[in-house]
Amino acid sequence: MMLNRSRKFAAIALAAGLCLGTAACSSSGSSGSSGNSAADGVADGKPLDPNATVTISIDCAPGADQAAGKANYADDLALFKVKYPNVTIDAKPYVGQCEVPAQQTAEYKAHDETGAFHAYFTDQGQTLNSGDAVDISSYLNDQTVPGYSSMLSSVKNNLGVNGKTYALPINYYSTGLVYNRDLFKRAGLNPDQPPTTWDEVQADAKKIAALGNGISGYEDYSGGNTGGWHFTSELYSLGGQMVSSDGTKAAFNSAQGKAVLQRLHDMRFTDHSIGATPVTQWADAFPPLATGKVGMFIGAPDVVKHLIEVLGADKNAFGLGPMPGATGPGNSLGGGDLYYFKKGQTPNQIKAEIAWIDFEYLTPDAGQFNFSRSATLAASSKDPVAIAIPQPYFWSASSPQIQAITTSLKTNGNLPLSNYDPYVNNPTSSVNEPPAAQQLYKVLDTAMSAAMTDPNANLDQVLATAETQANQILANQ
């Protein structure tokens, strides 16, 4: 979800006394002093004092498989050090996937999180139930996080509950159709007019699969919680619901839920436009997309960035379209990533973590929005750099933040933005993920797997079984 100057900027970071891995520093975790000394700071709604000495820890830093992201992150740590010379950041890198649900659950049970710890929007229930997240409401305002008051309600609604705020966002997305423009051309399809209905997706997928040579027209997930995630996205696109309006009962055993599974079953076993190899893990979907073996895939825009930067795919090969629906573009699944803050830290540790997250993820022309730096890197680096895919950002369209980002993209972007016009010009309504999302997704993995691996699957029974399991989960929330 998030270019190669690794040696140069790692050297800068080390010279500045920063930490890029947990072995190099002691983790702050929840070990901060609970006293009220001046060194601890005060939860007074003011930014961190630049003279404060504090050590913090954070997870989800770019790992070894992200050379460009790792170099930029090291650069940002060094730049942050200029403003806060006495802050030491112990940044824990990840490999492959920032969050593995089972691993995260284990961390919660062991209370083994970093000071600021990553989670998805869908993890709110589990995260707060762990008892490890602290309410940071008193720390947040337009001084400490410029633009905080302009954040979209669809973002803010995921930051906390019952009037309390526990997290800050670092990514926000809305799903759409990622497609290979070259395969569209070869199949006689117009790459500037991707399908906007599921009937069109099915018809186009069949034409693409007819190209042969191991090419699939469409690809979908059937495991790793990603199968259920995609089921939810496709259900929403048809106007369906995952749960009842009060959140107490499953609602996906419906005409729309059956339509999702039936179409995938037909594409796999009648049209043969979905490949025979199940895609059960998040990362497994991308290599065939990157190598031109898949025509279409449902995903957030950052899929394109991952294909280009991590897998070296041709930056001109991909287009983005709106989420297909029943009769035209349908509802899309909205989601994103957050950082929560661990209980037991000093006010200054929380302030420092907020300052770093604001700098790295929420400030135009800095951190992930430092497009001018990325452009310089792209011009000199052998490693691919993608600047920048269209993405729903955190603030209202009239905010200074959006205006600054838009201006920078026009100057520094290196991707063929016209390829993404079908997505940008057809905004869809975004629906948030359901309660107990990861648990429900795991249940629905089985349904997606049955639809795409069992030619004799009884889809009505599959949905009924999933409904029973989902109701048990929701009853225990």
CA 340 to CA 346: how far, in whole Å? 15
371-380 and 400-412 helices cross at what angle (nearest 10)?
20
Nearest to 206 by CA among 263, 270, 264, 271: 271
| pLDDT tens per residue across span 213-234 | 999 999 999 999 999 999 999 9
Q: What are phi and psi of 399, to 5 degrees?
A: -70, 155
- Alpha carbon distance 72, 374 (integer Å): 8
Fold match between domain 6-173+336-380 and domain 176-299+436-475: yes
pTM of the model: 0.73
pLDDT at 389: 80
pLDDT attached to residue 5: 29
User: CA angle, corner 101, sides to 468 and 310, nearest 5?
Assistant: 130
| Paired strand residues for 274 | 218
Gyration radius of the chain's alpha carbons: 22
DSSP 357-409: HHHHHSSTTSGGG-HHHHHHHHHH-SS----------SB-TTSHHHHHHHHHH
What residues does each domain of the chain span?
6-173+336-380, 176-299+436-475
Residues 324, 303: Cα–Cα separation, whole Å: 17
- Three-state SS for 183-239 is HHHHCCCCCCCCCCEHHHHHHHHHHHHCCCCCCEEEECECCCCHHHHHHHHHHHHCC
Q: Give me the CATH code for the 6-173+336-380 domain, please.
A: 3.40.190.10
Residue 57 three-state SS: strand
Which parts of the chain register pLDDT below 70? Answer: 1-36, 392
> What pLDDT is attached to residue 24?
38
Beta strands 87-93; 116-120: pairing state: unpaired
Paired sense of beta strands 318-321 and 116-120, if any: unpaired
Place of tokens 């009505």: 460
**Phi and psi based region of residue 192 (left: phi greater than 0; alpha: psi -120 to 50; beta: remaining):** alpha
Residue 46 identity (one-letter amino acid)? K
| pLDDT tens sequence across 433-458 | 898 888 999 999 999 999 999 999 99
CATH fit for domain 176-299+436-475, picks 3.40.190.10, 3.90.105.10, 1.10.1060.10, 3.30.365.10 = 3.40.190.10
Residue type, 129: N
What does the block give as tokens for 79?
A: 């730049």
Nearest to 390 by CA among 422, 413, 420: 420
Nearest Cα to Cα of residue 303 among 420, 426, 151? 420
- What percent of the chain is helix, strand and coil (3-state, nearest 5)? 45, 15, 40
* Residue corresponding to tokens 């016209």: 418
Backbone angles phi, psi at 54, to 5 degrees: -155, 145
Residue for token digits 């929701």? 474
Q: How far apart are CA 384 and CA 377, in angstroms?
A: 9
